[in-house]
């Protein structure tokens, strides 16, 4: 799914199992260095690059340009947008 040049990763609280499956697949595809924007309830919460990802793909660290890191879990109430 594309949105304004960014790839949208499905919302955590997706209504269907196929949406949840797409979210898991996309989180597992994230690599160190991928640029992402994290939104919470429709507002930008954090923006930066994937710094690290757990082996199961359910937890990622995102680091911004000044070095602040945020830990995100797949079940958080956030949405991720991957920059092109």
Q: For 31-41, what is each residue's pLDDT tens digit?
A: 999 999 999 99
Instruction: For residue 8, name the pLDDT band (cuts at 50, 70, 90).
Output: low
What Å distances lie between residue 10 and 34, 59, 68, CA to CA? 17, 15, 24
- Domain edges within the chain: 2-82
Taking the whole predicted model, whether its pTM rises above 0.85 is answered as no
pLDDT value of residue 11: 46
pLDDT band with cut points at 50, 70 and 90 for residue 25: confident
CATH architecture of the domain covering 2-82: Roll (2.30)
Position 73 confidence tier, pLDDT thresholds 50, 70, 90:
very high
**What beta strand segments (E) does the chain contain?**
2-3, 6-9, 35-40, 43-53, 59-63, 69-73, 78-82
Where b means 16+ CB within 10 Å and e means fewer, 48-80 reads bbbbebeeeeebbbbbeeeeeebebebeeebbb
């Amino acid at each position: 799914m594309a949105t304004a040049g960014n790839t949208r990763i499905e919302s955590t609280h997706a209504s269907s199992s196929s949406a949840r499956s797409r979210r898991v697949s996309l989180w597992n595809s994230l690599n160190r260095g991928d640029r992402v924007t994290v939104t919470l309830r429709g507002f930008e919460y954090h923006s930066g690059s994937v710094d690290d990802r757990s082996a199961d793909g359910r937890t990622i660290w995102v680091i911004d340009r000044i070095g602040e890191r945020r830990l995100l879990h797949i079940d958080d109430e956030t949405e991720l947008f991957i920059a092109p």
